[in-house]
Amino acid sequence: MRTRAAQSAAATLAAMMLAACVGVAAADQFIVLNTSGRAESAAFFEAVRREFPPSKQVPTRVGVAGIFSYLQEPPAKVQAALAIFLQLSVQHDLPVVVQLDGEQWWDARPDLWNWWDPKRPGFNPNNRANVEWSGWGPEHALRIAWRNWGQQIRVLPPPNLLSPAYRAACHKEMAALVPIILNWWKALPPARRYLLAGIKVGWESSVGVNAWYYPNGNALAEHPAADDPKSGLKNTELPARGVTAIGYAAASQAGIRTRGELTEGDLAEIARRHLEDLCAEAARLGVPRERLFTHAAGWKDGEMLYGAAVNRFSCPGWSFYRYANDPAKDAGAQQALAQSDAPCWAAVEWLGGGPTVESWHQALNRTLADPRCRFLTIYNWEGIEKNGPALQAIREICNPPK
């Protein structure tokens, strides 16, 4: 039980955090709609603006989010798409959350991951150091992994998040993209700087979840995908989650562990260092803390991975699905948030609601009930653009009848 002095100190800190967050923009909070398509689509912005007329009467605004996977496409293409996205924000008066992803998709960098196929671009056996391993040594380097975002698919081996070459690649692309965002933002009239709701780094940052490895997976790569196992993950069984544990490359590279069995704490520490490094780089480039957000997640109640979202450069963010209708019940996120001195936090990936307008009202309002919650991002616009109850609830919260 906390003493009265401790309770008073906590209350003072909460008040300071709230004051810092409330003061960052004309709008205190945002309901943000993410697109699963091209972020720089004018049709996306137009569709959102048609559904949600602008309002200056309340402190909750509708915004949009776009994902820019900077290792997935040529740098010039990503930079051009980002510039268009920001221009559309001004044109349609829609605040934006910019997600910078170098973690989930990295097809355009075979010079980092191709260690096994001399017939493909980028081949270098030393690239074993840049992908994850299923054991203690480069002979265990992965050449394939699996993901399930609605259905199971094959993906490239996940990056060794703590590989120096991989980290340098992320830093290089961020050094090109972050100034585009900041220069755009600083050129806005002060009264319109609410248009930058946030910059987000990471994407459910973790090891062995959004790219996992089945037993003997490299051999499976030689066979049709139709023959792949379909068992998927068992997220309550940490650290391997019911498949083959990976994370050995990052753990050994960073000196977290070099022998024995990987632990839940080891994998959480890898994700934490990865996010802290991205945030330190963004801060170095000039992103203020109240505009910078991480993206972590947890799949088992209270697991240590939630804490990876917290660092001194940024505000923490998590995915909310099971607890989207009431994030206060997510013990893992709440425990991590209690350890953070950041001015704000965000439900950076969120899907709640229900069949009625009232159920959507309740879910949205419960998430935004904590005034430190800067924004929630609904994944995805394409899933709710014809959902009448969802659209009506968002309209009523962000543009209530007079």
Whether 360 and 393 have beta carbons less than 8 Å apart is answered as yes
What contacts 93, CB < 8 A, 6 or more positions away?
Answer: 49, 54, 192, 195
Confidence of residue 58 (pLDDT cuts 50, 70, 90): confident
Strand partners, 33: 64, 378
Mean pLDDT of 211-234: 96
**Residue 283 and residue 300: Cα distance in Å, rounded?**
31
What would the pLDDT profile of 232-286 be if each residue is shown by its tens digit? 999 999 999 999 999 999 999 999 999 999 999 999 999 999 999 999 999 999 9
Confidence of residue 27 (pLDDT cuts 50, 70, 90): low
**Tokens 């900041």 label which residue?**
182
The helix/strand/coil state of 23 is coil
Domains and CATH numbers, the chain: 4-398 (3.20.20.150)
- Cα angle for residues 298, 368, 67 (degrees, 5° grid): 60
What would the pLDDT profile of 164-210 be if each residue is shown by its tens digit? 999 999 999 999 999 999 999 999 999 999 999 999 999 999 999 99
Whether 30 and 64 have beta carbons less than 8 Å apart is answered as no
For 19, other C-beta atoms within 10 Å of its C-beta total 11
User: Can you list the positions of beta strands (E) in 249-298?
Assistant: 292-294
**Residue 137 and residue 125: Cα distance in Å, rounded?**
13
pLDDT at 3 exceeding the cut of 90: no
Mean pLDDT of 382-389: 96
Quote the pTM value: 0.91
Mean pLDDT of 19-32: 61
Lowest mean pLDDT among 1-10, 115-124, 129-138, 342-351: 1-10
**Residue 200 and residue 192: Cα distance in Å, rounded?**
20
For 145, other C-beta atoms within 10 Å of its C-beta total 23
pLDDT at 117 exceeding the cut of 70: yes
Position 54 scores a pLDDT of 85
Confidence of residue 55 (pLDDT cuts 50, 70, 90): confident
Position 399 scores a pLDDT of 81
